[in-house]
A = this chain, B = another copy of it.
Amino acid sequence: MSAAAIAAANEAFYTAFRAGDLETITALWAERAPVVCIHPGWDALIDRADIIESWRAILANGGTDIRCVRPRILTTGDHALVVCEEHLPQGVLVATNGFVREGGVWRLSFHQASPLQQRFESEDADDPGVVMH
């Protein structure tokens, strides 16, 4: 049952993102737990007000054609992670959304989206691909 509620919260996030619905995104972010948001290319935001401001800027021109693909949900008690791909017209990101249960409701506590490298040029399955690590 947790998994369904977490999947619904995750989907609510992307529905609001597509709609440019800042109010819903604001309500989704946790109020009591520590929060972290790392947009692609941005520095980390760890203050809730800064995070909401970042979303206001991102949604200023309306919604985004974004789709959450292959969500995988990992749960430990009142904490959950949803790992997924974000498909946008410009490319694919790998994203992690962290959720925490506050007052019985799953709310966002973490978001980090990273560019996914183009599929490896090499066909060699042993080649771990390009990394900066």
Contacts and interface: CB of A to CB of B under 8 A. Distances in A.
Contact of A114 (B36, B54, B112): B112
A33 interface: yes
A90 B130 CA distance: 13
Nearest to A53: B128
B36 A96 contact: yes
A24 to B, nearest CB: 16
Interface in A75-113: 75-76, 79, 81, 83, 88, 90-91, 93-94, 96, 100, 110, 112-113
Interface of A: 33-34, 36, 38-44, 46, 54, 57-58, 64, 66, 72, 74-76, 79, 81, 83, 88, 90-91, 93-94, 96, 100, 110, 112-117, 128-133
